[in-house]
Amino acid sequence: MNFFRLFSRPQSAPAARERLQVLLAHERASAGDSDLVTKLRDEILRVISKHMQIDDEKVSVKMERGAQVTTLAVDIEIPFEAGKKAA
Amino acid sequence: MGKVIVVTSGKGGVGKTTSSAALGAALAQNGEKVVVVDFDVGLRNLDLVMGAERRVVYDLVNVIQGEAKLTQALIRDKRLETLYLLPASQTRDKDNLTPEGVEKVITALKRAFDWVICDSPAGIERGATLAMRHADVAIVVTNPEVSSVRDSDRIIGLLDSKTLKAENGECMEKHLLLTRYDPARAERGDMLNVDDVLEILSIPLLGIVPESMDVLRASNVGSPVTLADGHSAPAIAYFDAARRLKGENLPVAIPGEKRGFFGKIFGRKAA
Ligand SMILES: Nc1ncnc2c1ncn2[C@@H]1O[C@H](COP(=O)(O)OP(=O)(O)OP(=O)(O)O)[C@@H](O)[C@H]1O
Ligand SMILES: [Mg+2]
C-alpha cells in the first residue's frame, strides 16, 4: 500500500477493469446476433398466438447479464378472454 | 506490393488521425514511400494535421467518381518527399465511398507505395468498414478508458469478420496503440494501466503514446509530431512503433516506469 494512499480516495481503475471484463465476455459471446432478443420475442409471440390471442404490446422479453449467467425474462400479459377467443 | 494499414478505433477522438500522420511521417523518414489516406469523408482533418489544407484540390471521392485522376489528388508533403496525402472530401458524405471505388484506389496505391495508411473515421458504419476492408495490418488506437476499450473490442470483432482477409479465412494482424496515456493517473490507480488494457483486448502492443502538449503543438503548426519535434516523448513513441511495424523486435517502454529518486520512493506501487 502506498504510504499516501492511506489518506486518499480508493482507486477506480480496478472497478473499470472488472466491469469491462464482465461486459466484454458477454458482448463477445453474443457478437453477430445483437438482435437475438428481437428474434426470440417474435418467435415466442408466434408460438403463443397459436394458442391464444395476445397483445403484441403486452409482451416483454428482457435479457439481463450477470457475471456467471444470463437470465432471460419473458413477461406476457394474458387477458381473461384470450384462451376462448383463439379456440 | 505495399502494405495496407488501417488505423481504427470505433470511438472518436482517441488519436487515429494524429497517429496516422505521425506513423506515416516516421515511416517516410527512412525513404520508404508512404501515402496516408483520409477516409473520414465529410469531416476531413488529416490535411490540417499534416499542414496541407491549402493544397487540397481533388480528393478521394473525386477519384472514386472518376472526376480526377489519382495522381491529381495525391499531395506530396513539403518536408518529406516520400510522404503523400490523399485527402477526404469535405463537402460530400460517406455514401460516395463505394466498395468498388475504394478497391480500385487501394489497389493502385499498393502498386506505387510501400505503405498505404488508412485513417479511419470513428464509428462502425460504412466509412469505417471500408477503411478496414483491404487492410493487411490493423492498428487499434485505444485510450486507457472504459468506453474506448469497449469500442476497440468491438472493432477487433469487425476486423476479424468484415475484412477481405477475414472473409478469405486469413487472420488479420492486429496491433494495439495505446494513446493519451497518463503515467501519473495510471500510477494513482485512476486510469486503466497498460497491463489491464492488454489483458482485456489481448492483441500485441505496438506502442504507448503519452498524453502530451507536444501533440497539440504539432497539430497547431500543421506538422506530424514525428516531424515537428522528433525528440519529444510522443514522437519517440511513434518512431518506435514504426520500427515495430517494420518487424523490429523492440521492447515497449511504459511511460513513467523510469522514475527519479523521489518517484522511486513515493510513487511506486508497493506489493
Ligand atoms: N498523445 C496525445 N496527447 C495529447 N493530445 C492528444 C494526443 N493524441 C491525440 N490528442 C488530441 O486529441 C484530439 C483528437 O485526436 P485525433 O483527431 O487524432 O483523434 P481521432 O481519433 O482521429 O478523432 P476522430 O474520431 O474525430 O477522427 C486532438 O485534439 C489531438 O490533438
Ligand atoms: Mg480522425
Query: What is the per-residue pLDDT across B83-98, written as a single tens digit (0 to 9) for each?
Result: 999 999 998 888 889 9
Interface predicted TM-score of the whole assembly (ipTM), two decimals: 0.79
Residue B257, pLDDT above cutoff 90: no
What is the distance between the alpha carbons of residues A54 and A60, in angstroms, rounded to a whole number?
A: 12
Per-residue CA distances from B16 to B1, B23, B195, B245 (Å): 24, 10, 21, 16
The atom number, within ligand 1, closest to the CA of B21 reads: 18
Nearest CA in chain A to B198: A17
Per-residue CA distances from B56 to B20, B44, B73, B77 (Å): 18, 11, 8, 12
Nearest CA in chain B to A31: B157
The atom number, within ligand 1, closest to the CA of B209 reads: 1
Specify the pTM.
Answer: 0.83
What is the distance between the alpha carbons of residues B118 and B131, in angstroms, rounded to a whole number?
A: 6
Least confident of A3-17, B118-132, B245-259: A3-17
pLDDT class of B117 with cuts at 50, 70, 90: very high
Given CB atoms, is A17 within the 8 Å cutoff of chain B? yes
pLDDT in tens, B15-71: 999 999 999 999 999 899 999 999 999 999 999 999 999 999 999 999 999 999 999
For the packed helices A13-29 and B146-159, what is the interaxial angle rounded to 10 degrees?
30
Q: Whose CA is nearest to atom 10 of ligand 1?
A: B15
**pLDDT, position A79:** 78
Closest by Cα among B196, B152, B160, B159 to B177: B152
Given CB atoms, is A11 within the 8 Å cutoff of chain B? yes
B191/A23 touch (CB, cutoff 8 Å), yes or no: no
Closest by Cα among B120, B112, B85 to B11: B120
Residues contacting B11, CB < 8 A, separation 6+: B122, B143, B147, B148, B151, B152
Per-residue CA distances from B242 to B17, B82, B185 (Å): 15, 15, 26
Residues contacting B247, CB < 8 A, separation 6+: none
Of residues B217 and A29, which shows the higher confidence score? B217
Residues above pLDDT 90, as percent of chain B: 89
Given CB atoms, is B269 within the 8 Å cutoff of chain A? yes
Scan for cell 459471446, then name that residue: A29
Mean predicted lDDT score pLDDT of chain B? 93
B237 neighbors B190 (Cβ within 8 angstroms) = no
pLDDT class of B118 with cuts at 50, 70, 90: very high
Residues contacting B59, CB < 8 A, separation 6+: B38, B44, B73, B86, B87, B88, B89, B90
**pLDDT, position A82:** 61
State the average pLDDT over residues A14-24.
Answer: 90
Q: Cell triple for residue B191?
A: 486510469
